[in-house]
């Protein structure tokens, strides 16, 4: 398997009721994020998930939107964050990516909420497009598998719906 290959995943499985998922999408790169959302929806369809989608202004707003959503306990079983940051010629890329990743990780560990993190941090739009196509390389689909695995873990331990 080359570094560009993604593992082949079977259909998602999850015991219990159909999960309720909130997707937080930062559609600055609309086509890329929409492609990732299509990949996620295919995975969620395997478990009949109920999916709500909320858009935020940009990637930087993803952690705050997640924190706000967590103030509505019991409404969703898991959260999927989708966005894309393309590297430019300044340090802005590094600061934004670090802020988003650290913000989400801090919320994740503090809340123990099931979260799938689908933020593309790429050097070019072509790289982002390759990771949002309707194939097994779709990072939205991968992040959807991750949130379902986290929901399964939480359910298995009796700490989530």
CATH architecture of 20-155: 3-Layer(aba) Sandwich (3.40)
Confidence of residue 6 (pLDDT cuts 50, 70, 90): low
Instruction: Return the active site residues.
Output: 92
Q: Residue 119: in which H helix or E strand, if any? A: strand 115-122
pLDDT tens profile 139-148? 999 999 999 9
Which of these, 11, 10, 8, 33, lies nearest to 23 by C-alpha position? Answer: 33
Work out the mean pLDDT of the chain and round it to a whole number: 93
Domains of the chain, residue spans: 20-155
Which of these, 12, 46, 13, 43, lies nearest to 118 by C-alpha position? Answer: 43
**Sign of the C-alpha dihedral, residues 108, 81, 57, 20?**
negative
pLDDT tens profile 28-84? 999 999 999 999 999 999 999 999 999 999 999 999 999 999 999 999 999 999 999
pLDDT tens profile 82-109? 999 999 888 889 999 999 999 999 999 9
């Amino acid at each position: 398997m080359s570094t560009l290959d993604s593992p082949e995943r079977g259909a998602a499985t999850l015991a219990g009721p159909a999960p309720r998922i909130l997707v937080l999408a930062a559609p600055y790169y609309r086509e890329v994020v929409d492609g990732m959302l299509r990949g996620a929806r295919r995975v969620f369809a395997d478990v009949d998930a109920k999916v709500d989608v909320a858009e935020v202004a940009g990637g930087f707003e993803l952690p705050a939107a997640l924190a706000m959503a967590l103030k509505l306990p019991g409404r969703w079983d898991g959260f999927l964050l989708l966005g894309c940051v393309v590297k430019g010629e300044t340090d802005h890329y590094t600061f934004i990516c670090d802020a988003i990743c650290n913000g989400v990780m801090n919320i994740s560990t503090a809340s123990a909420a099931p979260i799938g993190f689908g933020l593309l941090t790429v050097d070019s739009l072509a790289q982002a497009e390759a990771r949002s196509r309707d194939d097994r390389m779709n990072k939205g689909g991968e992040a959807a598998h991750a949130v379902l695995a986290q929901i399964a873990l939480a359910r298995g331990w009796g700490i989530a719906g």
